[in-house]
Amino acid sequence: MRILVTGAAGFIGYHLSQSLLADGHTVYGLDALTSYYDPALKRTRLDLLQRQNGFDFGQIDLTDAAALGVFVAEAEAEVVFHLAAQPGVRYSIENPQSYIQSNVVGTANLLEALRQHLPKHLIFASTSSVYGGNTTMPYAETDRADSPLSLYAATKKSGEALVHSYSHLWSIPSTCVRFFTVYGPYGRPDMAILKFAHALAAGEPIDVYGHGRMQRDFTYVSDLVAAMVAIMEKAPVMGRPVAGDSLSAVAPFRLLNLGGGRPVALMEFIASIERAMGANARLNVLPMQPGDVVATQADTALLKALIGELPTTPLDVGIGRFVAWFREYYGT
């Protein structure tokens, strides 16, 4: 198939694009290569993709509606994965405009371009952060998600609402996938796992927020990608729900958790990194940061109903693969 991947030079976009290319699809990758974090890592990912047959790239910012429209028209994609976004909970407090422009305006621009070239399935990357102040675990897609705790979460919830409206108005089959703490090789430098690895390698203390009591539903990147590829063939159809579905009553639109459903204590996660790196961490224990939540856990019943069991990489195996990449890439 012809597949458009926005954010193709990003962490998840890179892994997804590699998987799609390996399956023989033609991938039209789009990325702005912004400087939110070291663009060298993005260019490394991009270079690896451009060595593959069937990859076409456009360096385009989602806020450039004209250039975006031209690229979408040329791609004529049957499936669209919209992963491009300004990520990060804490940075959204410091620089809110970049989130509004990229995650809200950029998503609206993409949807308007897709209205002219309707895909068979649009898959929008959302986040578990939209569950915000919910205290009931695990998070189910049918739970209310009206209390975001960060601007990042609010912009992603806005993106879901925009996708629903276009799905209703233009009959675009759309799935909003809510990611749960994805980790693995080529991860973003602003994510905890890479910060921990750098600190351990340098013998520096690790900042541990929430007094070390936080839990996250960590999801290894290849497991997530396998699920996303399987979801391609599961475009929502109005009036045809499965058990426990979040299918909209007025649009071919579905919300879907992508996580393992097995939360891991932050201290256990750190201990796994220590084992893989053969080093003991010095901990700088700190209070919760604004916008953070204590725990996350995905209800995976709907995911299993759609595609079967999610591939599950054991934590120590996933951390081991990450550390092997970290040592090779950074030479530590």
Q: In whole angstroms, give the CA distance from residue 110 to residue 21.
A: 23
Residue 28 falls in the annotated catalytic set: no
Residue pair 234/245 in contact by the 8 Å Cβ criterion: no
Q: Which DSSP state fits 76?
A: -
CA distances from 79 to 187, 216, 217, 229, 327 (A): 24, 30, 28, 11, 35
Q: In whole angstroms, give the CA distance from residue 172 to residue 175.
A: 10
Q: Where are the alpha helices (DSSP H) in the chain?
A: 11-22, 39-50, 65-75, 89-94, 96-99, 106-116, 151-170, 192-202, 221-231, 266-277, 301-307, 315-330
Phi and psi dihedrals of 138, rounded to 5? -75, 160
Active-site position among 152, 166, 183, 220: 152
- For strand 2-6 and strand 253-258, is the pairing parallel, antiparallel, or unpaired? unpaired
Cβ of 144: how many Cβ atoms within 10 Å?
10
SS3 state at 291: coil
Active site residues: 152
